[in-house]
Structure 1
Amino acid sequence: MATRRRNVLVIVAVAELLTMSLWFSATAVAPELAASWDLTSTETTWSTNAVQSGFVAGGLLSSFFTLSGVIRPRYLFAGSAVAGAVCTALIAGVVTSALPAIGLRLCTGVALAGVYPPGMTILAGWFEEGRGFAIGLLIGALTVGSALPHLFRGVGDPELVLYGAAIIATLGGLLALFVEPGPHQAPAAPFDPGALGRILRARPTMLANGGYFGHMWELYAVWTWIPTFLAASLAASGSAGAGAGLGSLLAFDTIAIGGTGAVLAGSAATAGVEPA
């Protein structure tokens, strides 16, 4: 059983890492896309914000229709990963203007809402002991995966970033198909509109939700902003001649280092609630 759990953890973490490359795939090449399509600054901003908006919408829709109960998590993960990959490939190969790009990025965010939560569900079903470490590793994989487009941009052209993210996300979705439900898999609860009122009246839950909301608002703002900041810093220091590659590699390092913190925090959480 221990070997099976370890294999599941590795497969799901790798699948998550590969698939989450879709999140910032267009953001990593936003300057090139804006120049190629003659986008305004507002249109460029919305091409990034659309992913976050789509993720929220996808999460709400998934909860309302209890998709995790209707569709097995591994199938939901795989289908969502491929859908997001198709949207990204279309941006690279077909789109030439702002509106379809924003629409496809919105759909990518909706698709990713079918990747991250099911990944957590799968691991929670396999890990009762050691769940903190397992979830920490998954979040670490998500972090490094989110940074991957900047690594691609540092070593290749914009098309490589978009097509590369689409290809590896598809591989990530296929990997998820190899994971069976675990022995601790909890059944999905039906959607209950009355739960909203109970949540709003539960102070501990609202404090946790507020902290998570503030944390994610700050985190994704920094992840989105840091490549622009680094490019401006290099230009101001006279290092702009190093090209976009150096800034992209530094952006990858800045974001991906958070994966280490996630794994360490998950390990600490497990150590804090389980006997040594």
Structure 2
Amino acid sequence: MNIYTNATVDATEAASEDPHGCWWGLAVLASAMLFGMTTWFSATAVVPQLGTVWPITSGQAAWLTIAVQLGFVVGALGSAILNMADLIAPRRLMLYGATGAAASNALLLAAPDVSVAIALRCLTGVFLAGVYPPAMKAMSTWFRFKRGTALGVMVGALTLGSATPHLVNGLGGLQWQLVIVVTSLLTLAGGLLAEVVGRDGPFPFPRGRFDPRMAWRVFTDRGVLFASLGYFGHMWELYAMWAWFSVFMGDTLSLQGVGAAGRWSAIATFAVIGIGAVGCWLGGVLGDRLGRARATILAMTISGACALAIGFLQTAPIPVILAVSLLWGFWVVADSAQFSTAVTEIGRQDYVGTALTLQLAIGFILTIPTIWVVPLIEEAVGWRFAFAILALGPVAGIVSMRKIRLLKST
């Protein structure tokens, strides 16, 4: 099978997958990741309420989210260097990570000030690095033929979870202590669900041995390198779009004189981010049928075009703005799982977990400068060009994925 250019497999290989067991495994692990990752955005959902408990500046409010990403990077890099995702059973590692994240999140209830809260958010991110990468590896043991679709559903679950805080804000915030307790319990439940209810699939990866050098040697495979470079371009765009779209929409609605702009902006943002869950599923289907390279190039072409155009539409009719925004939200994340799928298919099989973890770590590092720079550009020249810089990521990603199509089949 040439996974670089097409996804054709013979009937024997396709039939080797248990049509019932694999989808049951997907349902369990996708639910486990959805629950397990809820603590990522728990503080984001209750920032207005936290502002009544502690004096919080706008910069500190942003750090309540950025700290989780930094913690995730630290945790993922440490996990990659220690080969944790290849030495510890993936579902067991998910339980460890979920337990730590749930505890760190729950400690927000006792935090005396925002500085301690930010530190706890960072620690939450560290532990979540033990949930996301091993969940992707665990799911890969269930699928060969439709692995792209399966991992697309996994990332779709994460996407829907990412959108939920905006719905909470749009419908009216809940008591912040309740949000923290519920998200902590859900994260713990996700870890328990993976370990107790879940099981390994029929296509396990060979167990690796401890070798810190493999944290970087995994990139000596050109296929893994190009797939990861494509993912880095994707991440350059994704989280900055997710982080600042609600502000853009709020400004746009206010500019056009729409009442309750903040509320409608939050609801619109939930729809724009949430529709990406469907995009992840379709991206997986296309990845399995057309190949990872073609599917990701299609997604990045459309999302990059939307990034270039959206800022120029502030005075356009609201339905037009919403249509382009939904198109962007659909395609901006549709390719996400396909980069990871490619790594599981072409990377060294005994260090797949290490490769996935390192790919995610570097990708999340690249989200930080774009989240930081978008509001600076908006303040200087307005929204017309603030989002346009994000299109650089898809351009770089397209170049990388075009290169991967030139590689020979393995």
Bigger Cα displacement from structure 2, 18-27 vs 99-108: 18-27
User: Given the two structures, how large is their TM-score scaled by the length of structure 2?
Assistant: 0.60
The answer on whether the counterparts of 1:16 and 1:145 sit within 8 Å (CA) in structure 2 is: no
Distance 2:175 2:249 in 1: 18
Cα shift at 1:197: 6.0
Matched-pair contact (CA < 8 Å) for 1:81–1:169: yes
Call closer, same or farther: CA 1:166–1:154 in 2, change over 3 Å. farther
1:190 corresponds in structure 2 to 209
What is the 5 A alignment of 1:5-154? 5-91=22-108, 93-154=109-170
Contact 2:80 2:215 in 1 (8 A): no
Matched, 1:208 2:224: no
| Alignment correspondent of 1:269 | 287
Q: Of 241, 244, 255, which aligns to 1:225?
A: 244
Aligned match of 1:169: 187
Q: Let me know the Cα RMSD of the aligned residues.
A: 2.4
Q: Deviations over 1:56-98 (max 9, x none)?
A: 111111122222234321121122123222222222x222422
In 1, Cα distance between equivalents of 2:168 and 2:258: 20
Please tell me whether the aligned partners of residues 34 and 158 of structure 2 are also in contact (alpha carbons under 8 angstroms): yes
Residue 119 of structure 1 deviates from its aligned partner by 0.9
Question: What is the distance in 1 between the residues matched to 2:49 and 2:240?
Answer: 20
Deviation digits for residues 101-160 of structure 1 (CA, Å, limit 9, x no counterpart): 111111111111111111111111111221111111111111111212222333342514
Aligned partners of 1:19 and 1:145 also within 8 Å = no
SS in 1 for 2:141: helix
* Matched residue count: 271
Amino acid paired to 2:65? T
Please say if residues 63 and 118 of structure 2, whose CA atoms lie closer than 8 Å, have aligned partners that are also in contact. yes
1:7 maps to amino acid: W
Contact 1:130–1:270 (8 Å) recurs in 2: yes
- Taking a change above 3 Å as real, the CA distance of residues 64 and 26 of structure 1, as seen in their structure-2 partners, is same
Q: Aligned partners of 1:233, 1:33: CA distance in 2, in Å?
A: 26
The whole-number CA distance in structure 2 between the counterparts of 1:234 and 1:84 is: 37
Deviations 1:185-215 (A, max 9, x none): 1134335444466556655544332221221
The question of whether the paired residues in 2 share the 8 Å contact of 1:9 and 1:123 is answered with yes
Q: Deviations over 1:3-59 (max 9, x none)?
A: 111111111111112222222221233344245311223322222111111111111
Shift of 1:163: 3.1
| Structure 1 residue 184: Cα displacement | 1.1
8 Å CA contact 1:66, 1:188 repeated in 2: no
Give 3-state SS (helix, strand or coil) of 1:81's partner.
helix
Of structures 1 and 2, the larger Rg is shown by 2
Separation in 2 of the partners of 1:106 and 1:154? 26
